Structure 1
Amino acid sequence: MVWDVLNVIGTIAFVMSGAVVALEVKYDIIGAYVLGLITAFGGGAVRNLFIGIPIIELWQQTALFIVAIITITIVILLPSSAVHFLTKWSIFDSIGLSAFAVQGAMYAQSIDLPLLAVMFSAAITGAGGGIIRDVLAQKKPIVLRQDVYLLWAIFAGFIIGMEWVSEAYQYYILFAVTLMLRGISHRLGWSLPTRTIQQSQKD
């Protein structure tokens, strides 16, 4: 039940995120549907490829695809002012990241994968769709260049991989904590250290 609930929450959040980005960069209606669906399902598809789950399982989520298409349609029909308001907040990204990080880690743990694989599954499920979305929108992936984003997905994967949670309410608490940490880091502008290489100037 926890897995299904988080799957629905993550799907709706990332579908909205992808559709909003598509409208923001002035893609057409088909572009909004494509970007929304890829944001929601891309991370899970990549995860399945890496941990050896048949990709056909992706197409067996008919109910989720219907929910996703309805959600994208609602976003497209929203007034421009509402869409503009949504672009100012990363709430959908944060919800999708937190839900899919916990869900992805649970999935990997359920097939007895080691700790590193559980952490990877959490990270790629939580952030993979967003990375693909940003690349298709011709933007540098926000996951890799600013904010503390991917780290929180890895954190959730570590907690689950260490088997420190086992009850349903504990998974919901972990989802809430991950969401809170992501929200705080975004609000306060936290970022991980970066290093750049200066271009040498030629005479």
Structure 2
Amino acid sequence: MELRSFSVLAAAAFIAVGIWAQGFFPELPYPGGYTFLRYEVRGPDGPASSWILEVVPKGESYEVRMTMVNEISDTEGFSLLRTFMGAGTLEGGADVIPLAPIFSLWDKEIEAGKSYLLRERARLITEREDEILGIPVVVGTYVHPLFPRQRAVIYLPRLSHRALLLFPPYLRVEEKTDGEYRLIEEMELVKFVHED
């Protein structure tokens, strides 16, 4: 159970690194200054886990600190290897909508009230503009043809803020069961600081 609390963020991190390594993830130059991000990952059960990224300027370089905080029950046969190996899967290995096509938009301006055709015939349907922690976002629903019972509600930051974020400020993956959508997992930016 607790492994899945950690999994959306870990899966997103692995996906982002893999996409970037293949040249599909547009790299935006860091604008400089100090940045602090704290994301919380929640599933339908159990405690939230956290992922913290802090970028500290050090003269001509940056010190980057990453911390993952997760509570794992020792009654489930806890081991470090199992924790690490299970970190890249959602719902203990269940098939979950792939997030990679979303990142093809990372270097593009997105408008509310549009439909964007993405890689793998996935689609992002944008609905409205909003704001999370002072970050302007466009709210949309992401769907993938190979996962017709799932969707992701996503808050994509405006292009002006994407170089400061590694992931969208909010992402909620849901699956339709018995006629209604139920939470698989969600990831939310709960603290954001940037100082020039």
**When the two structures are superposed, what TM-score results if normalisation uses the length of structure 2?**
0.28
Q: Which has the higher helix share?
A: 1
Q: Which has the higher strand share?
A: 2
